[in-house]
Structure 1
Amino acid sequence: MTDADAAGLDGRSIRVGLDVGGTKIDAVAVSPDGQIVGRLRRPTGWGEDAVVDSVVEAVAALAREAGFAPSDVVSAGIGIPGLVDSGTGRVLHAVNLGVETLDLADRAGDRLGAPVHVENDVKAAALGAAMLRGAGGSMAYLNLGTGVAAGIVVDGRIWRGARGTAGEVGHLSVDPNGRACGCGQRGCIETFCGGGALARAWGRPGALPVRDILDAADAGDPEAVALRADLFHGAAAAVRVLVLSADVERVVIGGGLTALGERLERGIRSALLAGAGSSAFMRSLHLDERIDLLPAGSPAAAFGAALIGASVPSKEIVSHG
């Protein structure tokens, strides 16, 4: 959609944000005063055409559920995995969606009749988490899900660094003799605390393998005890890296593993305290007091996408994390 087209949007009031994942879209409607006035989740299609269809259908369904007209949408923001050129809205290599190259902003915008802006999903979640948590100053968002990724927000703006990878810690190797990582290295932080890596190491069937690991560890299973220690060790390492490299005031933890709730937060805090036990310098940083867990099912990514949709980002490539 061109700037000339967008100029005729006076009177519209609803900003829509969509978090497009490999299996579902989480969509929110945001009022002019920044309140979420509607939310729904729908399955995501596979392939480039199906992803566009899924986005358009999600906005239409959200409008019906929340009681506004599609013509009330002033902008839409989309958070999506893969390589994202946030200036053009093009998505590359979103392998979990069957997308190789997709001009998502143009194609979705033409069908929605409103400007669409696209951002990497973790970057969108970082901005949404900062706003939902009222985090002024600097904040890092650590996403613990199937994989591990992070983003940094400073004074309400995403801080990208020189090439868009600021804050990305999942593929930082902390043990060169550790488990092989899909990136080609060994002992990456993701191999310790990524849900996918833990499930593969566990190797037992189950709907929620990481929860199964914690349950089995509580029951004394030695393999589960070791994997539980890996989870907390890896997440604590990510927090240390984010604070030591960027000195963020807070690290907000989100992603699918937040379903573990207090057990996850308590374990990470304990690992941070244990790691600082022999170092007065590390104790002085009070890392255990600088983490904050989002509630399971938080709309941070979709809300952040809505905020991004309200602005015009500069053209740059950001990594998928």
Structure 2
Amino acid sequence: MTRRRDTDTRGRAIRVGLDVGGTKTDAVAVGLDGEILARVRRPTGWGDDAVIASILDSVAALAEEGGFVASAIRSVGVGIPGLVEPGTGRVLHAVNLGVESLDIEARAGSRLQVPVTVENDVKAAALGAAALRRDTATMAYLNLGTGVAAGIVADGRIWRGARGTAGEVGHLSVDPAGRLCGCGQRGCVETLCGGGALAKAWGRPGALPVRDIFDASETGDPVATALRADLARGAAAAVRILVLSVDVETVVIGGGLTALGERLHTDIVATLRREAEGSAFMRSLRLDERIELLPAGSPAAALGAALVGAAEFAPVPDKEIVTHG
């Protein structure tokens, strides 16, 4: 995709990244050396105008927290759930934000007077996770949240595939007779390890239904035990898909379900080992050794958004057009 650099940002040192989620926006200010200088979290509004206001408020709060002025900002990157229209910065179908079609780059950029770039939140998080690991090996970021998706980073860049769907492992069917997925297929990976699908299958009230499932399984509840096994089976399937199809060196697991911590990691590792027992080929891949959980509270998504924004508007010889992979 291409962008025009309509703002001269030479001499500006601050790169801002925002992870705009359904309930909160996580924002970071990053120096030119990659150091995170400040971080704030603010509520995210509902609907087009409220989402733009949330972005502007977060940038203002970040400047106050970091002790810098808006004129020091070089670029702003926004990671957001939904489809990002190539070449335009328009986000489509961000249903968790009440957004059907919103030109964030134009609307936020005109207010901030700085280049703004928009990226899918999972792809941004993949780039941020790779940067935090300081590892140039090809890796995948597997997001286990309300839904399931992955982002792939190769040679320090997001790999999108031919039509931008690389990493959409959540909608690969692994059980044609399984639960109905929101995409219309049955038995998708997301129906097994997506937080929304698990909460629906659990069907009991609670603020944190997946945590409730784990807790109930440890008291012997048969429904909870089966759903917990489904989660591990779906996540293990996603790891296998990513390694076998793209041959990533590492799968970093992030998203809301990682709040389960070691219980989640242990379950996935045990499932990968058990399901590889009958195959010397699968054992040779050592999948259980190639996964890691993103630390709780990691700024990966916001950091990745900052890096996307900075790369999009990096100086180029003609000072007009820059291409980002």
Give the TM-score taking structure 2 as reference length: 0.94
Aligned-residue offset at 1:232: 0.4
Q: Residue 6 in 1 paired to residue 7 in 2?
A: yes
Q: 2:145 matched to which residue of 1?
A: 145
CA contact (8 A) 1:86 1:117 kept: no
- Three-state SS of the structure 1 residue aligned to 2:53 is helix
RMSD value, Cα: 1.4
CA contact (8 A) 2:148 2:194 kept: yes
Structure 2 matches for 1:1-321, cutoff 5 A? 3=4, 5-7=6-8, 9-312=9-312, 314=323
- Three-state SS of the structure 2 residue aligned to 1:185 is coil
CA contact (8 A) 2:5 2:115 kept: no
Aligned-residue offset at 1:273: 0.2
Instruction: Kindly tell me the number of residue pairs found equivalent between the two proteins.
Output: 314
Q: 2:317 matched to which residue of 1?
A: none
CA distance, structure 2, for counterparts of residue 106 and residue 219 of structure 1: 53
- Which string of whole-angstrom CA distances, capped at 9 and with x for unpartnered residues, describes residues 41-69 of structure 1? 11111111111111011100111011111
CA contact (8 A) 1:142 1:149 kept: yes
Letter in 2 for 1:111: R
1:4/1:153 CA distance change after superposition, 3 Å: closer
Letter in 2 for 1:68: F
CA distance, structure 2, for counterparts of residue 76 and residue 191 of structure 1: 35
CA distance, structure 2, for counterparts of residue 102 and residue 315 of structure 1: 21
Aligned-residue offset at 1:315: 8.2
1:148/1:302 CA distance change after superposition, 3 Å: same
Letter in 1 for 2:308: I
CA distance, structure 2, for counterparts of residue 93 and residue 235 of structure 1: 25
- Which string of whole-angstrom CA distances, capped at 9 and with x for unpartnered residues, describes residues 289-321 of structure 1? 0001001221111000000000227589xxxxx
- Which string of whole-angstrom CA distances, capped at 9 and with x for unpartnered residues, describes residues 135-189 of structure 1? 3121011000011010100010001110011121001000011111111111000
| Structure 1 residues without counterparts, runs of 5 or longer | 317-321
CA contact (8 A) 1:81 1:94 kept: yes
1:173/1:142 CA distance change after superposition, 3 Å: same
1:177/1:92 CA distance change after superposition, 3 Å: same
